[in-house]
Amino acid sequence: MSAHSVDTLESQPTILSYVKDLPNVCSLAGLACTVSAIYLSILGIYYGAMIGMIWAVAFDWADGLIARRMTGRTGNDRIFGGQLDVVIDIVSYGVTPAILLLSYGRFEPEFLAGAFIVLAASAIRLSYFSTYGLSSDSKYTGLALDNNSIVLVFLFLFDRVFSETVFSIILYAVCMLLAALNVAQIKTPKFSGNPSSVYVLAVYTLSISGIYAWRLL
């Protein structure tokens, strides 16, 4: 190994050193909420899962806001944070809704296709964004995945209005519509980068969490 290679290895930060970066702490907090949402979805405690899902979005939006306001972050810090966001997003906005759909459908085979479509659309959407980023007018191409969770969390406010069978059909249809919008050639605004949008989401998160917590009681 050359001296240059040794110097490079010695100067390269450790993996866990990035955990101390505040935006990454925020991202991991969102991942913890996502894991809770998945666990509660499997158990059929859907109102608890909704709380986990909306808080995952809140932490996702907050980490970007924190990162933009922090000084002294290196280029590698930003790259690592961006990669961490993408990996967590596929779990939060792809795996979680897919498991929610499967669980609410009692893991019947016909719901497996829907779960695949949800997850595949999420993977394609994130891969496209990682390749091309925002459009020239600073908008997303396709509906951003975080909107999926916001919509699904709102949808479950009405689960008591319908029978379980009817609501499972509605949930399936909404998930398919969101998946189609995720990969559609449409331009959508980037709400997560707007401080006022983050504050609106904070109010929504607290309000919706209160409603679902009350229902759980």
- Predicted confidence (pLDDT) per residue in 55-68, tens digit: 999 999 988 788 77
Burial label, 103 (beta-carbon count in 10 A; 0-12, 13-18, 19+): buried
Q: What's the rounded Cα separation, in Å, for the pair 132 and 117? A: 22
Tokens of residue 106, six digits? 């009692």
Question: Pick from 93, 88, 23: which is nearest to 53 by CA?
Answer: 93
172 and 216 Cβ atoms separated by less than 8 Å: no
Tokens of residue 202, six digits? 């904070």
Give the DSSP letter of residue 35.
H
Mean pLDDT for the stretch of residues 26-53: 97
Per-residue confidence (pLDDT) for residue 138, from 0 to 100: 82
The SS3 of residue 141 is strand
Q: What is the pTM of this model?
A: 0.90
The hierarchical CATH code for the domain 15-216 is 1.20.120.1760
Residue 10 binned pLDDT confidence (cut-offs 50, 70, 90): low
Tokens of residue 207, six digits? 């309000």
- Predicted confidence (pLDDT) per residue in 137-188, tens digit: 789 999 999 999 999 999 999 999 999 999 999 999 999 999 999 999 999 9
Tokens of residue 7, six digits? 């110097």
103 and 44 Cβ atoms separated by less than 8 Å: yes
Report the residue count for the chain.
217
142 and 188 Cβ atoms separated by less than 8 Å: yes
User: Domain coordinates of the chain in residue numbers?
Assistant: 15-216
